[in-house]
Amino acid sequence: MHLAVFGGTFDPPHNGHLALCLFARELLAIDRIVISVSNNPLKQTRGASDSQRKHMAELFAAEINLTGTTCEVSGWELEKRQPSYTVDLLHYIKNLYPKAGITLLLGEDSFREFPLWKEHEKLCSLCRIAVFRRMTTEKEYLTAATDEWKDLPENVTFIDFSYPVSSTDIRELAATGRSIENLVPPSVRRYITEQGLYRK
């Protein structure tokens, strides 16, 4: 089985996340996707509570499953009640699925912070890494991304992908009552409205 792990704060999950997962499923022949809701120590600002973020991730996973992919949400990182690290998550996933091949799905912005991650070199031995980037050449990307990341592991793959939407933009729009209808899955939009999330 080929398992993909896609982690994030999902505050909120949006159509860019959805497109990335569906694109990765087809391009990388993924059998199962684990959506992990994180307490990212590099992102301290939260607009929604942990339980609300997990619920939105579950709605997001249900949208993916409408297309036939078996997608599940993990709240393991949230249950730790402390900053979570991807290397620890991958050890946990490997214990759950010891026979699965694992690919970690990362957006370009996350990979820019990769040298700051806990045990990032060890992490590369636990899984393949697929980086969804906006730039067109590896040389340009790596130069722009970081001067610290010198030797790129062989199991890192770059995939051209662009979907110009961010959770920050969505929170700002929702805070002023502007429409987010085309930016998030319908079920997530309804939940944001019902809960009054991100309103000032």
In a domain, 186, yes or no: no
Q: Which amino acid, residue 118?
A: K
Residue span of the structural domain in which 148 resides:
2-164
* Whole-number average pLDDT of the chain: 86
Confidence at residue 153, expressed as pLDDT on a 0 to 100 scale:
67
CA–CA gap between residue 43 and residue 54 (Å, rounded): 16
Q: What percent of the chain has pLDDT over 90?
A: 58
Instruction: Give per-residue pLDDT as tens, 75-99.
Output: 999 888 777 788 999 999 999 999 9
Residue 8 DSSP symbol? E
Averaged pLDDT, 105-119:
81
Instruction: Give per-residue pLDDT as tens, 144-197.
Output: 444 444 566 678 888 988 888 899 999 999 999 899 999 999 999 999 999 999
In 3D space, the residue among 141, 185, 143 whose CA is nearest the CA of residue 160 turns out to be 141
Q: Please give the model's pTM, rounded to 2 decimal places.
A: 0.87
Q: How far is CA 187 from the centre of its chain?
A: 18
In a domain, 188, yes or no: no
Q: How far is CA 7 from the centre of its chain?
A: 4
In a domain, 196, yes or no: no
In 3D space, the residue among 48, 169, 186, 32 whose CA is nearest the CA of residue 109 turns out to be 169
Higher-confidence residue of 128 and 200: namely: 128
In a domain, 152, yes or no: yes
Q: Which amino acid, residue 39?
A: N
3-state secondary structure 33-82: EEEEECCCCCCCCCCCCHHHHHHHHHHHHHHHHCCCCEEEEECHHHHCCC
CA–CA gap between residue 168 and residue 99 (Å, rounded): 37
CATH of the domain at 69: 3.40.50.620
In a domain, 193, yes or no: no
In a domain, 57, yes or no: yes
CA–CA gap between residue 41 and residue 84 (Å, rounded): 7
Q: How far is CA 17 from the centre of its chain?
A: 7
In a domain, 199, yes or no: no
Confidence at residue 193, expressed as pLDDT on a 0 to 100 scale:
95
CB atoms within 10 A of CB 84: 22
Query: How many structural domains are present in the chain?
Result: 1
Q: Half-sphere exposure (CA, 13 Å, Cβ side) for 8? A: 26
In a domain, 190, yes or no: no
